[in-house]
Amino acid sequence: MDYTQRAVESILENETLTADLDDQAADLLLDWAMSLAKEAAQGVAGINEASAEEQFGNRMRNVRQFIRQVNRWAGSSTATTPDEGQSALNKALELAVQVYGEGLPLVSSGQVGAFSQEAEQMGQAGDRITSLRQLLEVRS
């Protein structure tokens, strides 16, 4: 079973992952999603087929939920109040733990607040996506 191909198709065929974004931001988010999906596929390499299917399905579900939430957060930057933006970011960070694993150090509420305020000032969804990815991947 080619899990990498399935992972790529799962991302590219799901328009809801980038529905709230302009093309530039959507490309950035799809790039991130593809990277995470390929990692999910690599994570099941070498294990028995039944376990691989279950783990792959769970990992891909987590990736899609996370990316969809980042889409909501980044794409609604001008249409939400600061509290709604903070709530959307918090949800994305909760889902990030499922994607990146328990090794992802928890970001303190102070860091989240500071990041959220900084992200509000960015305005561009692509900038928000890039900043969140850097925050999570530097920490993981």
Q: Per-residue pLDDT tens for 60-115?
A: 999 999 999 999 999 876 556 777 878 888 899 889 989 988 666 656 666 777 77
- pTM beyond 0.85: the answer is yes
Q: How far apart are CA 40 and CA 34, in angstroms?
A: 10
Residue 119 lies in a domain: yes
Residue 66 confidence (pLDDT): 97
Percent above pLDDT 90 for the chain = 51
* Helix ranges, the chain (H): 3-12, 23-42, 49-75, 82-100, 109-122, 125-139
Residue 129 confidence (pLDDT): 95
Mean pLDDT (the chain, rounded): 86
Residue 91 confidence (pLDDT): 92
Residue 117 lies in a domain: yes
Top pLDDT among 42 and 101 is at 42
Show the domain range for 45. 3-135
Residue 78 lies in a domain: yes
- The answer to whether 29 touches 15, Cβ cutoff 8 Å, is no
Residue 82 lies in a domain: yes
| Residue reference for tokens 């249409």 | 79
Domain count, the chain: 1
Residue 140 lies in a domain: no
Taking Cα atoms as reference points, which of 116, 108, 13, 137 lies closest to residue 73? Answer: 116
